[in-house]
């Protein structure tokens, strides 16, 4: 599990016996470093879940809205790219793996049961 805030992340990870990586998805180098550590110590995950994000209203009519909107795009769009990119080659070489945008997919499809996971938790659980 990867996130920015250590306390809630560690609490949740303990209930899943998961590894904890502290990083902001907007920082490509930090996410890549965490992914490399995971790949080295655990191996190729079956599923990578990208669900970190920012949800704020912006009308972009005010100049300061542009900075906020950029932060939303950096986290919600580029954060996914930073999350998935380090795993794609390993999953392709192994011939398995899924990169999914939202853990709801896992919850309702059952696709994540018994799988090796590298995931990001979203603000709705207070972990970004």
List the CATH number of the domain containing 51. 3.40.50.720
User: What's the N-to-C CA distance of the chain in angstroms?
Assistant: 11
Among 33, 124, 25, which Cα is nearest to 77's? 25
What is the DSSP secondary structure assignment for residue 126, as one 8-state letter? T
DSSP structural state of residue 120: B
Expressed as residue numbers, the domain containing 34 is 2-125
Tokens 């609490």 locate to 11
For residue range 44-74, what is the model confidence (pLDDT) as tens digits?
Answer: 988 888 877 787 776 777 888 888 888 888 9
Q: How many domains does the chain have?
A: 1
The answer to whether 46 touches 119, Cβ cutoff 8 Å, is no
Residue 123 confidence (pLDDT): 31
């Amino acid at each position: 599990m990867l996130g920015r805030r250590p306390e809630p992340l560690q609490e949740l990870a303990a209930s899943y016996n998961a590894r904890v990586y502290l990083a902001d998805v907007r920082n490509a180098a930090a996410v890549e470093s965490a992914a490399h550590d995971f790949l080295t110590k655990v191996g190729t995950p079956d599923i990578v879940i990208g669900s970190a994000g920012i949800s704020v209203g912006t009308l972009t009519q005010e100049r300061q809205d542009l900075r906020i909107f950029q932060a939303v795009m950096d986290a919600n769009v580029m954060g996914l790219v930073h999350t998935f990119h380090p795993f794609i080659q390993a999953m392709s070489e192994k011939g398995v793996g899924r990169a999914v945008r939202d853990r709801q997919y896992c919850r309702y499809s059952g696709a994540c049961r018994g799988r090796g996971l590298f995931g990001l938790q979203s603000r709705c659980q207070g972990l970004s």
